[in-house]
Amino acid sequence: MSDIKLSSLFELETVEAGLYRGQSWDLGFRALFGGQVLGQALAAAYETVDKDRVAHSFHTYFLLPGDAKKPVVYDVEIVRDGRSFSARRVKAIQDGRNIFYMTASFQVPQEGMHHQAPEMPDVPPPEEVQSDIDFYQENFSKIARPMREALSYHKPVDIRTINAANSYQPVKRDPTRYIWMKARDPLVGSLSVHQAAVAYASDYHFLSTSLQPHGVAVTDKSLRMATIDHAMWFHRPVNLNEWLLYAMDSPFSGGARGLVRGQIFTQQGELVASTSQEGLMRQVDV
């Protein structure tokens, strides 16, 4: 079990009205993990809306790489409060520079017409899939030194990648990926905490799905990857205390960019959230 609590990442310090500070986790990547900024920005926006309103979508742009060794300040602008919907714009700031923007929309829960088209993929249950942490420890020599030193920060979310070994094999394959994810320690709190946590986890292994048709391993030293934008829609209440299946695919890559889409299902097959992301995907001379 991990001593680092996932919920602590979304416990923001209030600097003043509309201004919040979040502490950073260094996951051993080249820059601050984008999922952290997604989750914390959503948590900051939640601080400014009425308690009866629930986030149903957000759209974001990553402008500059963040520094994982420094906290992030979130400046929340109240764009609109209507009878049913509220809109917020959030700036993430480090060293006086805007590194990220989010526009988030909240709604008073309402009944309405309902349908779900996609079916949950037929994959092995989480109990039959090895945890990524165990896989990393077995392949310790294959992961970068900064990430080796940061493994404890990867433990709060139990992520189990189906056929995880593919990440280290430069073999061309279909641009689809499936992972199970669940909070390792029970998440205590309201729906807002679970949404922030799922937003955080939604950035794991996402953009690298675009590499698969090209036979390029995520560990390739010539590879440069960075998120440009990330969007998410919450269809139903999410609960990261239960296993969720994250089904990802990449319909296109080109122009040094990759596009990925994701659908998040409960074990009962209910679609609870959808995601999309575009990112830089470039190989350089080393």
Residue 36 counted as domain residue: yes
Report the CATH number at residue 218: 2.40.160.210
> Is 277 a catalytic site residue?
yes
Residue 73 counted as domain residue: yes
Give 178-221 pLDDT, tens digit per residue.
999 999 999 988 999 999 999 999 999 999 999 999 998 887 88
* Number of domains observed in the structure of the chain: 1
Residue 123 counted as domain residue: no
Contact between 237 and 265 under an 8 Å Cβ cutoff? The reply is: no
| Catalytic residue chosen out of the listed positions 212, 227, 263, 275 | 227
Q: Which two tokens stand for residue 50?
A: 């009425």
Residue 117 counted as domain residue: no
The pLDDT value recorded for residue 257 is: 97
Contact between 69 and 237 under an 8 Å Cβ cutoff? The reply is: no
Backbone angles phi, psi at 63, to 5 degrees: -100, -40
Give 258-278 pLDDT, tens digit per residue.
999 999 999 999 999 999 999
The pLDDT value recorded for residue 167 is: 66
Radius of gyration of the chain (CA): 18
| Catalytic residue chosen out of the listed positions 203, 209, 212, 263 | 203
The pLDDT value recorded for residue 160 is: 96
Angle at 36 between CA 33 and CA 38, to 5 degrees: 115
- Say if strands 176-183 and 257-266 run parallel, antiparallel, or are unpaired: unpaired
Residue 115 counted as domain residue: no
> Is 227 a catalytic site residue?
yes
DSSP states along 153-189: GGTTEEEEETTGGGGGS-----SEEEEEEEESS---S
What is the domain range of residue 80?
Answer: 4-108+128-281
Residue 114 counted as domain residue: no
Give 181-190 pLDDT, tens digit per residue.
999 999 988 9
Q: 149 or 246: which carries more pLDDT confidence?
A: 246
pTM of the model: 0.95
Residue 66 counted as domain residue: yes
> Is 203 a catalytic site residue?
yes
Type and span of the H or E element at 145 = helix 145-149
